[in-house]
Amino acid sequence: MQELILAVEPDSEGVLSWQDRSLCAQTDPEAFFPEKGGSTREAKKVCLSCEVRAECLEYALAKDERFGIWGGLSERERRRLKKRAI
């Protein structure tokens, strides 16, 4: 549980430290928030090689993010993951 808190809680400057190391911060943000029915392929491809993918997914699950690709998963995929965990 401590890892989840570290990924979700901002540091003393109000910044989530893992976000500074994320690959998505260096790419087109629109790829991570495609239109309904749009392709998620490019965003997921970036996530595959991102060193903070786990932290990103933990954040999205903890904050119940409803939109976008987080940690390599779409909102639908995150919802399924949460249901399996229950």
Annotated ligand binding at 86? The verdict is no
Residue 6 has pLDDT above 50, yes or no: no
- Please say if the pLDDT value at position 41 is more than 90: yes
Of the ranges 6-15, 16-25, 68-77, the best mean pLDDT one: 68-77
The answer for residues whose C-beta is within 8 angstroms of residue 59's C-beta and 6 or more apart is 7, 8, 16, 18, 65, 70, 71
Whether residue 22 is annotated as binding a ligand: the answer is no
CA angle, 20 then 22 then 26, to 5°: 90
77 is in an annotated binding site: no
Q: Average of pLDDT values for 63-78?
A: 95
| 31 is an annotated ligand-binding site residue | no
- pLDDT of 3 > 70? The answer is no
